[in-house]
């Protein structure tokens, strides 16, 4: 019964969308899904196996773990090794290899490293364990930063003194601008991140159409959403349009979530940030404002960022920019696997390489 | 980038709501979106409501699951 | 061995556990029986084939909806015997107790063990007790071993799947692991999912009563359904094809997976079995299964093919496909 209902709803609609895609994608076409969660959705639903040969979907830099520089992982690892520290972060980052260790290895080695699923957990842990120094390795994009900001505001309001933040947050539109400014990248359109857009709305993407004459569709994460997003991009091409459209209307308001942006702005200010694969991009990261500076790790710990080169042979940088695909990396599947990753594209469940390794590749 | 899950608000208590996701409940912060009431459908990310969903649209997904679940339970005998 | 220290992931039941067994334990201990690495060892004797198995239980929390460590310890070992088609003849239970552990809690656990044994129709015939210092055991650990006899003509194993076979499962997946997760209260989630922990030997005997030609029985515990399917594909050198829409999940389990970003195909089960059977026997076996309480929701989820040997293909809800790899490491909750 259950399977019949699912099938009739989804398979029916997907069939007609796929037909339209096949009809519209006659010439070689490349779209970039900016967001790592889209990459996972695409692979899990098997969409790649259903698209025509002429249509290529490439993964962009919207994977917080993939674009986090080695040096920041090293900082987190070093902090986890400090006396009296409990390092907390989201599960996504646990297995990312730094230059010598990862957070999950530190935990196996007996360090106090904990996985949280909400920034408020960090505050609660700090309150409940006043004798420990809680360090929150805060990763994420605009979807997550307002929540992190709200938690920090709460911590201050509650007088929590033992919480420090290692901010590793990044902003999407500046990264897209940097990507588009490079001549190497050839893209016909973007599937724009649905949940980042819930926060920022539609306006921040208008530069894509205005300055680069390119198109983007804000897209949801169900298989049907993604297929619809692709259809909308293809229709734009066919009709000679380059616009920003919203497929994810059930969740994304054109104006975004204004309160969330305000709270984010009260706690954080945009700063220059390093992106693995894209280099340093101005105003693409977030740092604590003056009123919250006492919570910065730099105040309580002397563990500065040290730039580390990518492991030799690793082509994560190019993969993140959409310049090549995982099978073209000599380490892929051979020396670099999900159990033993060399670069973050393999370690992150949403990294191109992990997604490709687990979900792609069949005779 | 980011898992956002639709759920239904069961109760509201100050800055928090008890949200139901297909039978699982989570305590969710309203600090980023306080304008929710009981019965609203919301999108949740890292334990925060980030948007209220139009009932019509949210139901498209949630109701379908409820229909499916109901049909499933009717067609099999559940163990006590 | 690439790793110099044991990681928690080595106990997760996926690829790293496989590597540990293959690179450290097997080279030292290997023999033809051990090498099959089935749920139970099958030892031929002059009288009949014996199934022998052992398992340790370290679950936290000790008590969870649907069971406790005692029930788990009994069912886990009975089920390993059942997967070989064996009738369990005796279970041994060894307890490692932490100094300071509540004797009342211990009593509850032992009662659970007894109740589960009664359900399975098996006796606890031997046991042992040790006590370790406070802090060395987190309450208690239980190790159970079991011996069973395999009826004449029954010969199952992960390497026995053949092209054309049907793949059956007896119900929805993910209940046990989600019940444990919820009862740990780690992620501010509240739910009513109960572990599916149950002894499967009666169900298996019913199935064998209808057909002695069942090729494979495996219970998808740690590593989940995907890992077990992969093990079968690898051991038998066949391709496995399963359909996503035929694999069922309780709504709450789906909700937890959505919230934490888990893939339900990798969640542990303790009352489920995967059966690989000749196509022509499938209907009869299903009918027999559905007369048993633990088999009422039995259904076919896929088939065995000769294409893509060693690999598992999932046909997705929208008609696409993807490969299923075994679980690598632990599943961490994701936010992205």
Please determine, for residue A59, whether its predicted confidence score (pLDDT) is greater than 50.
yes
Q: CB distance B22–C293 less than 8 Å?
A: no
Q: CB distance B61–A2 less than 8 Å?
A: no
Tell me which architecture the domain covering B5-75 has in CATH: Roll (2.30)
Tell me which architecture the domain covering C158-324 has in CATH: Alpha-Beta Complex (3.90)
pLDDT score, position A4: 33
Class of domain C31-150: alpha beta
pLDDT score, position A6: 36
pLDDT score, position B65: 45
Please determine, for residue A1, whether its predicted confidence score (pLDDT) is greater than 50.
no
Nearest to A195 by CA among A140, A275, A117: A140
Better-predicted residue by pLDDT, A253 or A334: A253
Q: Does C1 touch chain B (CB under 8 A)?
A: no
Tens digits of per-residue pLDDT, A282-319? Answer: 999 999 999 999 999 999 999 999 998 777 888 887 88
Better-predicted residue by pLDDT, A63 or A298: A298
pLDDT score, position A64: 80
Tens digits of per-residue pLDDT, A197-220? Answer: 999 999 999 999 999 999 999 999
Overall average pLDDT of the B33-45 stretch: 96
Q: CB distance C192–B23 less than 8 Å?
A: yes
Tens digits of per-residue pLDDT, C119-155? Answer: 999 999 999 999 999 988 889 999 999 999 999 999 9
The distance of B35 to chain C (nearest Cα, Å) reads 22
Nearest to A217 by CA among A31, A350, A15, A40: A31
Q: Which residues of A180-197 are buried (b: 16+ CB within 10 A; e: fewer)?
A: beeeeeebbbbbbbbbbb
Q: Which residues of C58-91 are buried (b: 16+ CB within 10 A; e: fewer)?
A: ebeebbbbbbbbbbbbbbbbbbbbbbbbbbbeeb
Count the Cβ atoms, other than its own, within 10 Å of residue A201.
19
At C73, list the tokens. 């310890």
**Chain B residues with CB-CB distance to A252 below 8 A:** 51
Q: CB distance C325–A357 less than 8 Å?
A: yes
**Residues of A at the B interface (Cβ-Cβ below 8 Å)?**
1-2, 5-6, 9, 35-37, 62-64, 90, 117-121, 140-141, 143-144, 146-147, 150, 153-154, 193-196, 198-199, 221-222, 249-253, 257, 259-260, 263, 350
Q: Confidence class of residue B1 from pLDDT cuts 50, 70 and 90?
A: low
With both helix axes pointing from N to C terminus, report the angle between A145-157 and A258-267 in degrees, rounded to the nearest 10. Answer: 60
Interface of A with C in 255-274 (CB under 8 A): none
A49-63, A78-92, B28-42, C35-49: range with lowest mean pLDDT? C35-49
Q: What percent of chain A clears pLDDT 90, i.e. is strictly above it?
A: 66
Interface of A with C in 209-228 (CB under 8 A): 223-224, 227
Question: Radius of gyration over alpha carbons of chain C, in Å?
Answer: 19
Can you list the domains of chain A with their CATH numbers?
24-312 (3.40.50.11740), 316-359 (no CATH)
Count the Cβ atoms, other than its own, within 10 Å of residue C27.
8
A273-282, B60-69, C259-268: range with lowest mean pLDDT? B60-69
Tell me which residues of chain C have a pLDDT lower than 50: none
pLDDT score, position A160: 97
At A11, list the tokens. 């398979």
Q: Does B1 touch chain A (CB under 8 A)?
A: yes
Q: Confidence class of residue A349 from pLDDT cuts 50, 70 and 90?
A: low
**Chain C residues with CB-CB distance to B1 below 8 A:** 336
Better-predicted residue by pLDDT, A252 or C16: A252
Please determine, for residue B58, whether its predicted confidence score (pLDDT) is greater than 70.
no
pLDDT score, position A145: 98
What residues does each domain of chain C span?
Answer: 31-150, 158-324
C-alpha C171/C-alpha C296 separation (Å) is 8
pLDDT score, position B79: 39
Which residues have a Cβ under 8 Å from the Cβ of C280 and sit 6 or more positions away?
A: none
- Distance between the two ends of chain A, CA-based, in angstroms? 32
């Amino acid at each position: 019964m259950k399977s019949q209902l699912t099938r009739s709803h989804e398979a029916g609609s997907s069939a007609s969308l796929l037909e339209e895609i096949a009809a519209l994608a006659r010439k070689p076409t490349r779209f970039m899904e900016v967001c790592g969660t889209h990459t996972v959705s695409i692979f899990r639903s098997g969409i790649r196996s259903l698209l025509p040969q002429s249509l290529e979907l490439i993964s962009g830099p919207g994977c917080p773990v993939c674009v986090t520089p080695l040096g920041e992982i090293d900082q987190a690892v070093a902090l986890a090794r400090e006396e009296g520290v409990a390092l907390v972060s989201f599960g996504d980052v646990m297995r990312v290899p730094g230059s010598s260790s990862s957070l999950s290895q530190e935990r196996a080695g007996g360090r106090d490293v904990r996985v949280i699923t909400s920034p408020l957990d960090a505050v609660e842990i700090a309150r409940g364990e006043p004798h420990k120094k809680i360090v929150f390795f805060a990763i994420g994009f605009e979807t997550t930063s307002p929540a992190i900001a709200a938690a920090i505001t709460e911590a201050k309001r509650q007088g929590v003194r033992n919480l420090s933040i290692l901010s590793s947050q990044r902003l999407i539109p500046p990264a897209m601008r940097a990507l588009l400014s490079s001549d190497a990248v050839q893209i016909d359109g973007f599937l724009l991140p649905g949940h980042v857009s819930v926060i920022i709305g539609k306006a921040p993407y208008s530069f894509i159409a205005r300055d680069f004459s390119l198109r983007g569709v804000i897209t949801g994460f169900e298989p049907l959403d993604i297929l619809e997003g692709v259809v909308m991009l293809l229709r734009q091409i066919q009709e000679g349009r380059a616009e920003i459209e919203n497929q994810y209307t059930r969740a994304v308001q054109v104006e975004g979530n204004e309160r969330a942006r305000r709270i984010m702005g009260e706690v954080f200010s945009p700063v220059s940030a390093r992106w693995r694969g894209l280099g340093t991009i101005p105003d693409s990261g977030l740092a604590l404002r003056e009123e919250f500076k006492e919570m910065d790790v730099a105040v309580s710990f002397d563990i500065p960022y040290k730039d580390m080169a990518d492991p030799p042979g690793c082509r994560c940088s190019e993969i993140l920019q959409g310049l090549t695909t995982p099978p073209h990396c000599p380490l892929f599947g051979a020396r670099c696997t999900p159990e033993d990753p060399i670069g973050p594209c393999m370690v992150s469940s949403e990294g191109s390489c992990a997604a490709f390794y687990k979900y792609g590749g069949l005779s | 980038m980011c898992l956002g899950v639709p759920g239904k608000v069961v109760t509201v208590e100050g800055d928090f709501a008890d949200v139901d996701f297909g039978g699982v409940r989570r305590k969710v912060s309203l600090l980023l979106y306080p304008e929710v009431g009981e019965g609203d459908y919301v999108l949740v990310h890292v334990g925060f409501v980030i948007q209220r969903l139009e009932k019509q649209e949210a139901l498209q997904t949630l109701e379908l699951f409820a229909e499916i679940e109901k049909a499933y339970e009717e067609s099999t005998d559940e163990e006590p | 061995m690439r790793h110099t220290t044991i990681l928690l992931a080595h106990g997760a039941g996926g690829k790293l556990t496989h590597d540990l067994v293959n690179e450290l334990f097997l080279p030292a201990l290997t023999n033809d029986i051990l090498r099959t690495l089935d749920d139970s060892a099958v030892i031929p004797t002059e009288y009949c084939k014996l199934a022998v198995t052992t398992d340790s239980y370290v679950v936290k929390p000790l008590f969870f909806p649907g069971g406790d460590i005692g029930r788990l310890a009994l069912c886990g070992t009975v089920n390993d015997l059942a997967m070989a088609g064996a009738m369990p003849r005796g279970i041994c239970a060894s307890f490692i107790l932490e100094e300071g552990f509540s004797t009342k809690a211990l009593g509850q656990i032992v009662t659970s063990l007894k109740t589960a044994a009664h359900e399975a129709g098996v006796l606890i015939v031997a046991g042992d007790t040790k006590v370790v210092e406070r802090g060395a055991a987190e309450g208690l650990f239980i190790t159970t071993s079991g011996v069973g006899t395999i009826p004449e003509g029954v010969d199952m194993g992960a390497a026995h799947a053949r092209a054309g076979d049907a793949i059956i499962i007896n119900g929805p997946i993910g209940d046990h692991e989600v019940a444990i997760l919820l009862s740990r209260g780690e992620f501010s989630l509240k739910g009513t999912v109960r572990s599916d922990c149950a002894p499967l030997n009666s169900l298996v005997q019913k199935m064998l009563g209808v057909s002695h030609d069942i090729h494979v029985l495996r219970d998808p515990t740690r590593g989940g359904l995907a890992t077990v399917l992969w093990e079968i594909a690898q051991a038998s050198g066949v391709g496995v094809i399963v359909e996503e829409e035929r694999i069922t999940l309780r709504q709450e389990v789906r909700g937890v997976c959505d919230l934490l970003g888990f893939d339900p195909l990798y969640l542990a089960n303790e009352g489920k079995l995967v059966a690989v059977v000749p196509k022509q026997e499938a209907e009869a076996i299903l009918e027999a299964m559905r007369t048993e309480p633990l088999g009422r929701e039995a259904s076919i989820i896929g088939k065995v093919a000769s294409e893509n040997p060693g690999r598992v293909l999932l046909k997705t809800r929208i008609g696409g496909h993807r490969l299923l790899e075994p679980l690598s490491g632990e599943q961490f909750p994701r936010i992205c």
